Structure 1
Amino acid sequence: MTAPAFLGRVGSVAGATISVRLADSVASGIAIIGGRSYRVAQVGSFVRIPQGYHDLYGVISEVGANATPETLLDDRQRGESWMTVQLVGEMVETSFERGISQYPGINDEVHLVIEDDLQRIYGIEEEGQVVIGRLAGAESIPVKIDLDRLVTRHSAVLGSTGSGKSTTVSSLLRAICESGGTSHCASARILLLDLHGEYGDALANVAKVFRVNPSGEEAPLHVPFWALDTEALLSFLMGPLSEAAFTGILDKIQSAKLAVAEGVPGVDINALTANTPLPYSLKKLWFELIDPEYRTWANKERTEPAIDVKGDAETLTPPKYQPPGAGSATPLINNQDVLGIRRQLTQMRTRLLDRQYDFMLHPGNWEPDLGGAAAEDLPELLESWFGHERPITVLDLSGVPSGVLIHMIGGILNIAYESLFWGRALPEGGRNRPMLVVMEEAHRYLGKDSDNPARTMVQRIVKEGRKFGIGAMIVSQRPSEIDETILSQCGSLFALRLTNSADQGKVKAALPDSLGGLVDTLPVLRTGEAIIMGEAARLPVRCRINPPPKAARPNSADPEVAVAWTKPRGEQNYDRLAAAWRSQNPRWTPPKGET
């Protein structure tokens, strides 16, 4: 008598790919086992191949005519059905392991995997396993991922707009924080770069939120300019510079940092560079650079400046000198310390006066005075981001101007990486308290054709971060636009619905388990459903992600057009609309006493 879970027999073996001749008993595509109905021979379903004392497990990647071995094409006319299976692991006694120690033989039986088998694989209680959802084909079986491998081997969450990507990320982060009760939550450390301001409310009870324009319990976002890469900062402030001008400015920055370096713990004056994260005054730097550009001399010895107004560094008021005389007549032009950067200094002054850049160029307590002294320094910045009591830090970058966004993300990642890298042996460092960096809308700043500081830092994290306790999670709706080096380093993939063929091809090329056939199911996945594969998953699996409560979901849902258009039109106040735009704050409210 044929076992009810029997599907067929192995017809050919080619490495990890086997072809299975289906038995006539499964022609209907439905099997009833233990009172439960199972859809058999479905792409993405699991099969079991008994091998004596242990079982091999595989995933169906193709069914039907194209699955027929080429040497048996005439079998199609004889009515035989075939399917292609990718071997992925084996059960040795009671423990499931990825990879296989032996291959099946020709005519070995192939069985449908039922819930009892799945329970043996997924039901094992191990430390570091996080429940994130339920098997799409067996809702009673929880899907777990390995937290160690998720963080250290990096991951990517990929899905088209409307596939449930943001909700999936929110659910994953909540599952990590809440796994194991408060013991996990107490020391988890996750940094989320939120480009659209979607996660502040969704993760409010497990995250500390930093925004350019904070409200409620949110903290102001400050990214001090002196902690950023100096070359990238000067490029933003001044634009292109000649080699001589760039070197001269670096010398002045280094001198300014030397002036405040005495007695600072960890600073070696002999090894100090312009990139050493020490505060200095941008206003003073601008004033010292602009003064020689306009200076004239009242005497031929060039010892007496022909100055009318001294100017003021604090208010960014430039000095005014008497115009140079004709020929050799006084006042004489200045020919000392001139770098020829008048245009660049004008742009620098404009940046410093532009209020939308205050979070970086005038960073609150982290802004130095003209002498280089700041109320708060690098330790307070790191503690505010990474040392608070909540497991998640959300940096809401929705208020950051697009022109500086790439530089800002590169700077933030540089601060996070360098601090955990150099402090890796300390209790606060990356090895003793690892960090997961989640990067939303990654295609906006990790393009494969763009060379920018954000891309450079992420490449460094995915290549070297594993050793120092820094993991990356790339979140994107356009994987085809992400740098190939970065995506190839993601050991785990959460692939939600993808309709674009180029994006599907990118996922197919990055599959760690060579299960290209599963990509064909990406366009028909339901919202909130994902194919999970790679290092963090026991088996490649189709999973229904556990949705968070409605009140804890990201602000990324589509507007309800029909409902909105049928409501009576309320009071319209376009002054508020203009104010929100000018302030670059969608939650702008008038100051108290104003309407």
Structure 2
Amino acid sequence: MVIGICIGETSLTHVTFISDKMPNVGEYVTMEYNGKKVLGMIENLIMGNDSLNVDINDFKAIQKISRIGAEENYIKGKVKILGDVNDNLKLPRTPVLPGTEIKLADNELLDEIFKVKNPIKLGCLVNQSDVEVNVEANPILSRHLAILAMTGAGKSNTVSVLIDQFLRYNLPIFVFDMHGEYKDAVFPNGEVNVIRPKINPHYMSFHEIKKLVNIGANSYIQERHFRRAFHEAKESLKNGVAQTNNFLQVMYDILENKSLEEGSDKQIVDVMNKIDDAMIKYSNIFDKNIGNILSSIKKGHANVLDLSQVDESVASVLVSHILRNALQRSKDAASKGENLIENSVFFILEEAHILAPKKRETDSKKWIQRVAREGRKFGLGLCLVSQSPKTVDHDALSQMNNMIILRLVEPEDQRHVQSASESLSKDLVDQLPSLNVGEAIVLGLMSKVPTLVKIDRFKGRRHGDDMDIISHFKNSIQKEKEEIENAQQETLDMGYDY
């Protein structure tokens, strides 16, 4: 079906066309010239009328022209060139010839485009619901993914669909669940393994403990006392001579004994006070009876770390601890020549703008950046999820070579996302505010072409949908009325009268 004709100057990446019928932004088209069959996507559309130009200021004149000149309306659009379908979607070396007809791509061609080796089914084309959209799983795991959207645009549903699709491959998924949305979820393709937000201090590094206790970078004397106590505590617990299994308490006791032996040293007392503060502040995340959190991960499960009851500082500690250990475990396996695939994990980080903030330095941000840069070499995948892209660290976001972008209205969010993605054009950015709930632009290495997708409705069950507050309080009126009527009836039954 011919929908337009190429006009004006064409390039290797874009063509302009004129049409007498209105197509849809996001539709795929083909153009045949010089023995090539080139695939493109409509990125922009405008409608105009030469007779009703903006220079006419006479309202009555405009009224008359509009009555007789409606047929003079024109439709002009822009097509992004995606590649030659006969040459593995490589960009052509010569531009499209002006005057070339533009046709809608047929379903058979599109089905071939979205046929991949290891499919992750996201949904269907927004403009053609009979065409399934499948993306390739491996590039998501090895080159990372960002899921970005304003609140209420369908972000959590998209995450759930993605998790369920990955569970079909028996993959270990690890979700940092900031709001408890997934701990009670039911996935058709796998089970949930809830992991408590606890750390055994024995598995924490010196620098993690030092950061936790707030020993400053320039506090050299305090650090020296703290380092000695740290190593003595490790040996004491290892040899079984410590009177308690509480690692921080063992360190505190060592420093207290040292202070009694050598006299009251202000620096030692300051370190003791900081350890005491840390024991109070972080007492809810320490558990001396558990093993390494990574040993709790199960294959083919959505391993959910429930962070809904901890504050941001504790969440940052847990995230940095887990990512550091995962990266170190994989590096150790690589140095021993072991199979890295066995240690593969796909980490999903909700509220990425909190865990990897743009303008603040946090431990979690540091390790998110490290895994984003190095993880693909060691089988560690990363998915950053955020409803505030503008406040997500740019370095981390730019390492996400795949993106699922749902509705974004705020211009600063749009600019930040575009600056982090090479394949997100200005015309596609302009479409973000007009997306409906559940619609997304999908682009990156996981897909052969940028795609406008209607994300599937998650078929399982999860928490996190907006509360129906009105229904709750409306029903409570009826409930209160029934309770009063029941109380009055009980009074009558007892022989009393009003």
TM range (shorter): 0.7 to 0.9
Give the Cα–Cα distance (whole angstroms) in 1 for the partners of residues 314 and 112 of structure 2: 51
**Which residue of 2 is the match for residue 177 of structure 1?**
167
Equivalent residue number for residue 5 of structure 2: 8
Q: 1:153 aligns with which of 139, 143, 149?
A: 143
> Greater helix percent: which structure?
2
The Cα of 1:446 is off from its aligned counterpart by 0.9
Q: What is the Cα deviation at residue 281 of structure 1?
A: 2.8
One-letter identity of the residue aligned with 1:175:
Q
| Cα pair 2:324 2:367 within 8 Å, conserved | yes
Which of residues 66, 69, 84 is equivalent to 2:78? Answer: 84
Q: Equivalents in 2 of 1:426, 1:163: separation in Å?
A: 45
Corresponding residue to 1:166 among 156, 163, 180: 156
Matches within 5 A, 1:38-49: 40=23, 42-49=24-31
Give the letter for the 1:193 counterpart: F
* Aligned residues of 2:215 and 2:223 also touching (Cα < 8 A): no
Task: Write the distance in 2 (CA, Å) between the matches of 1:58 and 1:152.
Answer: 27
Q: Once the two structures are superposed, what CA deviation does each residue of 1:138-176 show, in whole Å capped at 9, x if it has no partner? A: 111110111111111111000111111011100111012
Asked if residue 527 in structure 1 is aligned to residue 453 in structure 2, the reply is no
Q: Which residue of 2 aligns with 1:226?
A: 202
Q: Is 1:290 aligned with 2:216? A: no
Task: Give the secondary-structure state (helix, strand or coil) at the position aligned to 2:89.
Answer: strand
Deviation at 1:89, TM superposition (A): 2.3
- Conserved? CA contact 1:236–1:404, under 8 Å: no
**Per-residue displacement from partner, 1:109-139 (whole Å, max 9, x unpaired)?**
32222323322322x3x42122121111111
Q: 1:383 corresponds to which residue? A: 295
Distance of aligned partners of 1:239 and 1:404 in 2 relative to their CA distance in 1, 3 Å threshold = farther
Contact 2:12 2:94 in 1 (8 A): no
Distance in 2 between residues matched to 1:507 and 1:557, nearest whole Å: 25
1:190 correspondence with 2:190: no
Q: Distance in 2 between matches of 1:28 and 1:15?
A: 25
In 2, Cα distance between equivalents of 1:209 and 1:339: 47
- Are 1:115 and 2:98 counterparts? no
Alignment match, 1:395: 305
Give how far 1:238 is off. Answer: 4.4
Residue aligned with 1:198, SS: coil
What's the CA shift for 1:403?
Answer: 3.3
The 2-side partners of 1:55 and 1:10 are apart by: 18
Structure 1 residue 357 displacement after superposition: 2.6
Tell me, yes or no, if the aligned pair for 1:421 and 1:468 is still in contact at 8 Å. Answer: yes
**Matching of residue 566 in structure 1 with residue 474 in structure 2:** yes
Secondary structure, counterpart of 1:499 in structure 2? coil
- Conservation of the 8 A alpha-carbon contact between 2:122 and 2:456: yes
Structure 1 portions without partners, runs of 5+: 30-39, 69-77, 179-183, 212-219, 263-278, 296-304, 306-332, 367-375, 572-595
Please report how far the alpha carbon of residue 528 of structure 1 lies from its aligned counterpart in structure 2 after TM superposition. Answer: 1.4
- Give the structure 1 partner of residue 492 of structure 2: none
Q: Could you tell which deviates more after superposition, 530-539 or 108-117?
A: 108-117
Measure the CA separation in 1 of the matches of 2:249 and 2:10.
71
Count of aligned residue pairs for this structure pair: 450
1:11 Cα deviation after fit: 2.8
Deviations 1:349-385 (A, max 9, x none): 243256x63332xx1423xxxxxxxxx5x4xx43222
Q: Distance in 1 between matches of 2:250 and 2:444?
A: 52
Q: Is 1:486 the equivalent of 2:396? A: yes
3-state SS of paired residue (1:59): strand
Tell me by how many angstroms 1:487 deviates: 1.0
For 1:334, give the aligned amino acid: G
Task: Give the 3 Å change call, closer, same or farther, for CA 51–471 of structure 1 in structure 2.
Answer: farther
Percent identity between the two aligned chains = 22
Partner Cα distance (2:214, 2:389) in 1: 33
TM (normalized to structure 2)?
0.82
Structure 2: segments with no counterpart, 5+ residues: 51-71, 240-244, 481-498
* Structure-1 separation of matches of 2:12 and 2:76: 18
Paired residue for 2:221, among 222, 232, 244? 244
Q: Tell me how large the CA RMSD over aligned residues is.
A: 2.9
Give the distance between the partners of 2:327 and 2:92, measured in 1 at CA. 37
C-alpha distance in structure 2 between counterparts of 1:344 and 1:425, whole Å: 37
- Mark the CA change 1:91 to 1:204 in structure 2 (over 3 Å): closer, same or farther: closer
SS at match of 1:134: strand
SS in 1 for 2:285: helix
Structure-2 separation of matches of 1:433 and 1:547: 31
Offset of residue 204 of structure 1: 5.8
